[in-house]
Amino acid sequence: MYLTKSKPIRHIGFVSTRFKGNDGVSLETLKWRQVLERIGYECFYFSGLSDWDADLSMVVEEAFFAHPAIQAIQDRCFGNTVRSEDLSGEIQAIRFKLKTALYDFAEHFKIDLLITENALTIPMNIPLGLALTEFIAETGIPVIAHHHDFAWERQRFLVNCVADYLSMSFPPRLHSINHVVINSEARQQLSYRCGLSSIIIPNVYDFDAEPPQMDDYARGMRKDLGVGEGEALLLQPTRIVARKGIEHAIELASRLKDTRGNLPPRPAKLLISHQERDEGSDYYQRTMDYAALMGVEVIIRPDIIGAARGLTETGLKKYSLNDCYLNADFVTYPSSYEGFGNAFLEALWFKKPILVNRYSIFQQDIEPLDFDVVIMENYVTNDTVNTVRSLLAYPDTAAMLAERNFELARKFFSFNLLEQRLRQVLMNFGQL
């Protein structure tokens, strides 16, 4: 039923907890899909939440990490060191349902190879990881395990009562799996902790395509967001979670108003593009309280900002993430940790100046390439503020630096690189 080395790969099945919205895993999966389809493969999708092609997808609600049953399991698995018999039974019951669904998915779409997108990496859905591991072990189907965030990179997973499950499935040690990581630190840790080899495929962007230009539709966005003439619009193109360091962007916006220095003050507002709060509401509330304390208006408008342009139910214009970038004067990316940095590449593609905190992966895999960006080291300094203020005051200089960054990114993080690396992995299965 499944692939042997003599059987060519034609149908590829992607598996994740969700394929919806603008989260990093969904965005990166879409890029892989585009490249794989470009070189002749057909792609299909298994997830718990999806707004992708219904005819090519199978949706099983329990595969979504935020499904109530999965959330109830997660709450009891972490922060405790003893697992009840009832909890084990609930996990196994959902595991069995999901494994059965995976068999149906593979049979219905005649899947030759699976690509798991973080589903065998971070334990956001333990039953799904167990189901995948058993399915792979029972079928021998070739798998590319695409790892974005490992459990050991998140403090909230360190205390748990599921060490046996984590060892079994996050990630599994099976001969038919080829492991792909997105940075050099992950490759080192995967080898050290699990004895598994891997290939690095960094996040990429289609730098051979020119970014969209400002048009009449996008031009109305600043007014609809309440951004006045003379105000700078800072864009924080991330979800609202603590490791994104949004408080630093708020401090920057506040200090741009400072009248001290050689450059004139620049009032600024901060737009956060993604309203998702995958790690709860505490950090969101802290962010909003801090913004009020610093006198900064933070704009979060999920009512008129979505995945694509359109109209709301009340007839208002709805803007996309592209429109956010087109209207931004400056991009803030002060994360304390990132697996790689999708938003960093997006900002370079849109040719926007950007502030970056020197998170560890940036230091190892990106900074040596010599991009011209504003750097901060865990906190905003006077030099940081003055550099940003200078780029806002002299947009021609900012544009020149952004053009150079675009060309560098085209060299190191393009779809061509992704195609080369994917072909390399597929060769391990006797393909190409």
Q: What angle do CA 405, 203, 269 make, to 5 degrees?
A: 60
Q: Helical H runs in 237-320? A: 246-255, 282-294
Burial grade of 192 (CB within 10 A; 0-12, 13-18, 19 or more): exposed
Q: What integer pLDDT is reported at residue 4 of this predicted model?
A: 45
Rg (CA), the chain: 22
3-state secondary structure of 38: helix
Residue position matching structure tokens 């990490």: 65
Dihedral angle computed from the Cα positions of residues 42, 48, 49 and 51, in that order, rounded to the nearest 10 degrees: 20
d(Cα 225, Cα 1) in Å, to the nearest integer? Answer: 54
Tell how far CA 282 is from the center of its chain. 21
Burial of 313 (0-12, 13-18, 19+ CB in 10 A): exposed
* pLDDT for res 3: 46
Q: Is the peptide bond before 171 cis (omega within 30 degrees of 0)?
A: yes
Q: How far is CA 399 from the centre of its chain?
A: 26
Domains of the chain (ranges plus CATH)?
11-204+415-427 (3.40.50.2000), 216-412 (3.40.50.2000)
Place of tokens 């803030």: 332
Note whether 374 and 355 are within 8 A (CB): yes
On whether the CB atoms of residues 409 and 205 are closer than 8 A, the answer is: yes
d(C-alpha 15, C-alpha 59), whole Å: 10
Which burial class, exposed, middle or buried, applies to 69 when counting CB atoms under 10 A from its CB (0-12, 13-18, 19+)? middle
pTM of the shown model:
0.85
C-alpha distance from residue 226 to each of 61, 253, 269, 301, 306 (Å): 38, 16, 9, 11, 18
Between 246-255 and 282-294, two packed helices, what is the crossing angle to 10 degrees?
Answer: 10
Report the alpha-carbon distance of residue 121 to residue 171 in Å, rounded: 5
Q: Which two tokens stand for residue 257?
A: 């108003």
Q: In sequence order, what are the residues at sequence separation of 6 or more whose Cβ sits closer than 8 angstroms to the Cβ of residue 346?
A: 205, 237, 321, 325
Confidence (pLDDT) at 278: 58
Q: What is the 3-state secondary structure (H, E, C) of 144-212?
A: EEEECCCHHHCHHHCCECCHHHHHHHCCCCCCCEEEEECCHHHHHHHHHHHCCCCEECCCCCCCCCCCC
Q: Structure tokens of 401? A: 């630096």
Q: Are 17 and 48 in contact (CB under 8 A)?
A: yes
Residue whose structure tokens are 């938003």 = 343
Per the rule left: phi > 0, alpha: psi between -120 and 50, beta: everything else, 40 is: left
pLDDT the model gives residue 276: 67
Q: For the CA atoms of 144, 148, 150, 154, what is the dihedral angle to 10 degrees?
A: -170
Per-residue pLDDT of the chain (432 residues; tens, 9 = 90+): 554 445 678 999 999 999 997 778 898 999 999 999 999 999 999 999 999 999 999 999 999 999 999 999 999 999 999 999 999 999 999 999 999 999 999 999 999 999 999 999 999 999 999 999 999 999 999 999 999 999 999 889 999 999 999 999 999 999 999 999 999 999 999 999 999 999 999 999 999 998 999 999 999 999 999 999 999 999 999 989 999 999 999 999 999 998 777 788 899 999 999 876 656 689 999 999 999 999 999 999 999 998 889 999 899 999 999 999 999 999 999 999 888 888 999 999 999 999 999 999 999 999 999 999 999 999 999 999 999 999 999 999 999 999 999 999 999 999 999 999 999 999 988 765
> What was the pLDDT predicted at 412?
95
What's the CA angle centered on 158, arms 20 and 198, to 5 degrees? Answer: 65
Q: Which two tokens stand for residue 131?
A: 């189901």
Cα–Cα distance measured from residue 349 to residue 225, given in angstroms and rounded to the nearest whole number: 23
